[in-house]
């Protein structure tokens, strides 16, 4: 299969997107943990031609002396980042109004008043211009009552990164299969955060930015103005690369306020020593290994690092993680978004699958001994009051399910099941002399707690009566198409007040 790889960055030198910056509440950012920004002076550059566009600072300087009520005699060309959008599509003229700046911030910006789309085509929706787009604009500039702006209907886009407007991405991503994708757009998605070393002064290390559409990490305490020692991982879900032949990781990241010898490092040297991408195979207890990246940011703008090889993990279930560290000499802010894992082969089921089922003997519990690992992760479905018991089949523990109205459900976390026939089996017994009973079934996240139980010969939910000795209970079911299921062991309402013990849960599949 032929593969394509081309960098389209050359048109927009260094192709960069605006980075996230500190914002006031109520955006939910833990601003106390992000270091105050240092002002960056952007010098005017460019000559205003197609081959050598102005930057925004250069355009502002070039038209500073334009007389009121007049326009430039020639068209000027500028490259910038969209900093504000009016969302004022005129359906008759197909134009939009927006601002551009050199850093994506709303200071030192220039107004594109009712400009046209690519090559002068009409815009058809407000989504064709968005904050963060990198654009090249050509047109005449007017001094309108003291405001310098592009003339109405006399400017057009020469290029844009907005795909809704026909723009091109920064790179061609390798592969015809997307194994995993997550924007991290103001939320962590199905990533998990694991703090390895978190100072008490920090509310969080990784946090979300809803206004700038990324996840960000920092070990800086804005209250004490101290750089702190920290380590935190942003970890992907399990991704199935068992049928992949090649796999490549692409994402956007930015870094600001990383320090070298007390000064801000704009070379990217320090961030390489404090921020890493790690990956591991999870189906053979693999160790975390560092992934080599082709591009690191050198300042406070997003850059794309594309097609970083994860080929060593093809044939496995795997995870990758963004590992952030800081110390007392450098506690910069790392920002990450638009994560993609692509390649060649066949996509599998991402997340844990039935053959990842673990802790069926209830050996592992949380630190308080209140919840067995992997169980009761969904409080709506797994509603039972449970306890750890030393009356067990396999040492050291079993789980006691308290019988209560209307029904008590012990549930395992969501697992993927491919087409096939499966059996859930376990050992159970009554925990009291008055006896007890169990039902077995499954549900889906879409079912919102509606459980499909095993049926008896009459079509009613099958109830297994338990005695004082351990006995095996099993439930065989068929999955017609790949789906996520939550396995459930329940004490029905008829056994309210009658507790039961469960141990040695297993899941098997028929060949």
DSSP string, 33-92: GSPPPPP-PPPP---SSSSS-B-HHHHHHHTTTPPTT-B-SS-EEEEEEEEEE----BTT
CA distance 338 to 511: 40
- Predicted local distance difference test score (pLDDT) of residue 132: 85
Q: C-alpha 398: how far from its chain's center?
A: 36
Enter the tokens of residue 301: 């703008």
- Predicted local distance difference test score (pLDDT) of residue 19: 42
Query: How does the average pLDDT of the chain come out, rounded?
Result: 88
Query: Model confidence at 33, in pLDDT bands (50, 70, 90)?
Result: low
Structural domain boundaries in the chain: 39-165, 177-345, 354-509
CATH of domain 39-165: 2.40.50.140
- Please check the confidence at residue 38 and state whether its pLDDT lies above 70: no
Give SS3 for 479.
Answer: strand
Q: How far is CA 207 from CA 180, 193, 278, 327, in A?
A: 22, 9, 19, 18
In this predicted model, what pLDDT tens digit does every residue of 224-265 receive, in sequence order? 999 999 999 999 999 999 999 999 999 999 999 999 999 999
Identical fold, 39-165 and 354-509: no
- Please check the confidence at residue 17 and state whether its pLDDT lies above 60: no
Q: How far is CA 191 from CA 148, 215, 234, 380, in A?
A: 45, 10, 6, 21
In this predicted model, what pLDDT tens digit does every residue of 347-389 receive, in sequence order? 988 888 999 999 999 999 998 899 999 999 888 899 999 999 9
- Please check the confidence at residue 34 and state whether its pLDDT lies above 70: no
Radius of gyration of the chain (CA): 29
Per-residue pLDDT, averaged over 269-274, amounts to 96
CATH fold of the domain at 177-345 = Jelly Rolls (2.60.120)
Enter the tokens of residue 500: 């039961």
Query: Model confidence at 511, in pLDDT bands (50, 70, 90)?
Result: confident
CA distance 426 to 406: 23
- Predicted local distance difference test score (pLDDT) of residue 164: 83
In this predicted model, what pLDDT tens digit does every residue of 280-322 receive, in sequence order? 998 767 799 999 998 999 877 788 899 999 999 999 999 999 9
CA distance 114 to 130: 14
Q: Is 18:103 a contact under the CB 8 Å cutoff?
A: yes
Look at residues 56, 336, 11, 52 and name the one whose alpha carbon lies nearest to residue 161: 11
Cβ-Cβ contacts under 8 Å for 408 (sequence gap 6 or more): 383, 384, 385, 401, 402, 490, 491
Look at residues 475, 481, 355, 485 and name the one whose alpha carbon lies nearest to residue 420: 481
Look at residues 388, 380, 433 and name the one whose alpha carbon lies nearest to residue 407: 380
CA distance 135 to 167: 9
CA distance 153 to 386: 69
Cβ-Cβ contacts under 8 Å for 87 (sequence gap 6 or more): 96, 126
Least confident of 120-124, 162-166, 438-442: 162-166
CA distance 44 to 55: 6
In this predicted model, what pLDDT tens digit does every residue of 64-95 receive, in sequence order? 999 999 999 999 999 999 999 998 898 889 99
Q: Is 269:356 a contact under the CB 8 Å cutoff?
A: no
CA distance 306 to 143: 42
CA distance 153 to 138: 11
Per-residue pLDDT, averaged over 147-156, amounts to 96
CA distance 453 to 492: 11
Read off φ and ψ for residue 248, nearest 5 degrees. -140, 135
- Predicted local distance difference test score (pLDDT) of residue 486: 95
Q: Which H helix or E strand runs over 271?
A: helix 271-274
Q: Which H helix or E strand runs over 273?
A: helix 271-274
Residue 390: Cβ-neighbour burial (10 angstroms; 0-12, 13-18, 19+) = exposed
Q: Is the peptide bond before 10 cis (omega within 30 degrees of 0)?
A: no
CA distance 223 to 34: 9
Query: Model confidence at 14, in pLDDT bands (50, 70, 90)?
Result: very low
CA distance 258 to 271: 6
Is this prediction's pTM over 0.85? no
- Predicted local distance difference test score (pLDDT) of residue 442: 96
Query: Model confidence at 446, in pLDDT bands (50, 70, 90)?
Result: low
Reported as half-sphere exposure (CB side, CA atoms, 13 A), residue 410 has a value of: 31
- Please check the confidence at residue 29 and state whether its pLDDT lies above 50: no
- Please check the confidence at residue 448 and state whether its pLDDT lies above 60: no
Per-residue pLDDT, averaged over 151-161, amounts to 93
1.10.540.10, 2.40.110.10, 1.20.1560.10, 2.60.120.260: CATH of 354-509: 2.60.120.260
The residues with which 302 forms a beta bridge, in sequence order, are 17
The residues with which 488 forms a beta bridge, in sequence order, are 411, 441
Q: Is 499:436 a contact under the CB 8 Å cutoff?
A: yes
Count the helix, strand and coil residues of the chain and give each as a percent rounded to the nearest 5: 5, 45, 50
Q: Is 109:146 a contact under the CB 8 Å cutoff?
A: no
Q: Quick one: what percent of the chain has pLDDT higher than 90? A: 73
- Please check the confidence at residue 11 and state whether its pLDDT lies above 60: no
- Please check the confidence at residue 22 and state whether its pLDDT lies above 50: no
Query: Model confidence at 436, in pLDDT bands (50, 70, 90)?
Result: very high
Query: Model confidence at 168, in pLDDT bands (50, 70, 90)?
Result: low
CA distance 78 to 57: 10
Q: Considering all CA atoms of the chain, what is the largest pairwise distance in Å, rounded to the nearest integer?
A: 97
């Amino acid at each position: 299969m032929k593969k394509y790889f081309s960098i389209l960055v050359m048109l927009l030198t260094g192709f960069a997107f605006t980075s996230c910056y500190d914002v006031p509440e109520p955006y939910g950012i833990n601003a106390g943990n992000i270091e105050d920004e240092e002002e960056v002076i952007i010098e005017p550059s460019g000559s205003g031609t197609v081959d050598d566009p102005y930057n925004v600072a250069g355009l502002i300087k070039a038209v500073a002396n334009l007389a009121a009520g007049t326009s430039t005699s020639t068209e000027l060309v500028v490259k910038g980042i969209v900093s504000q959008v009016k969302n004022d599509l005129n359906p008759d003229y197909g134009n939009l109004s927006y601002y551009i700046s050199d850093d994506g911030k709303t200071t030192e910006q220039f107004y594109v008043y009712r400009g046209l789309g690519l090559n002068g085509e009409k815009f058809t929706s407000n989504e064709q211009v968005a904050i963060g787009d990198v654009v090249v604009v050509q047109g005449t500039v007017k001094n309108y009552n003291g405001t310098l702006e592009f003339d109405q209907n006399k400017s057009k886009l020469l290029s844009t990164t907005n795909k809704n407007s026909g723009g091109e991405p920064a790179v061609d991503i390798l592969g015809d299969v997307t194994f995993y994708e997550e924007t991290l757009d103001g939320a962590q998605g199905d990533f998990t955060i694991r703090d390895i070393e978190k100072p008490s002064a920090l509310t969080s290390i990784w946090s979300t930015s809803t206004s700038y559409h990324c996840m960000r990490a920092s070990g800086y305490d804005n209250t004490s103005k101290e750089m702190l020692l920290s380590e935190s991982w942003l970890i992907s879900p399990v991704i199935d690369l068992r049928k992949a032949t090649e796999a490549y990781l692409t994402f956007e990241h930015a870094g600001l306020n990383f320090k070298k010898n007390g000064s801000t490092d704009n070379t990217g040297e320090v961030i390489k020593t404090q921020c890493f991408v790690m990956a591991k195979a999870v189906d053979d207890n693999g160790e975390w290994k560092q992934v080599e990246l082709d591009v690191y940011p050198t300042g406070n703008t997003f850059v794309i690092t594309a097609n970083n090889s994860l080929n060593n993990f093809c044939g496995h279930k795997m995870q990758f993680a963004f590992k952030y560290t800081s110390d007392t000499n450098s506690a910069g802010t790392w920002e990450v978004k638009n994560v993609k894992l692509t390649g060649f082969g066949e996509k599998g089921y991402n997340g844990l699958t039935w053959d990842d089922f673990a802790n069926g003997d209830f050996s592992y519990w949380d630190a308080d001994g209140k919840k067995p690992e992997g169980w009761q992760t969904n409080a709506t479905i797994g509603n039972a009051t449970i306890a750890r018991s030393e009356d067990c089949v396999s040492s050291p523990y079993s789980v006691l399910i308290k019988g209560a109205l209307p029904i008590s459900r012990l549930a395992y976390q969501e697992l993927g099941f491919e087409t096939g026939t499966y059996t859930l089996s376990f050992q159970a017994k009554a925990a009291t002399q008055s006896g007890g009973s169990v039902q077995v079934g499954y549900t889906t996240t879409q079912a919102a707690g509606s459980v499909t139980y095993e049926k008896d010969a009459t079509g009613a939910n099958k109830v297994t009566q338990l005695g004082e000795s351990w006995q095996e209970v099993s439930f065989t079911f068929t999955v017609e198409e790949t789906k996520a299921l939550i396995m459930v062991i329940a004490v029905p309402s008829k056994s309210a007040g009658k507790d039961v013990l469960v141990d040695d849960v297993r899941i098997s599949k028929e060949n």
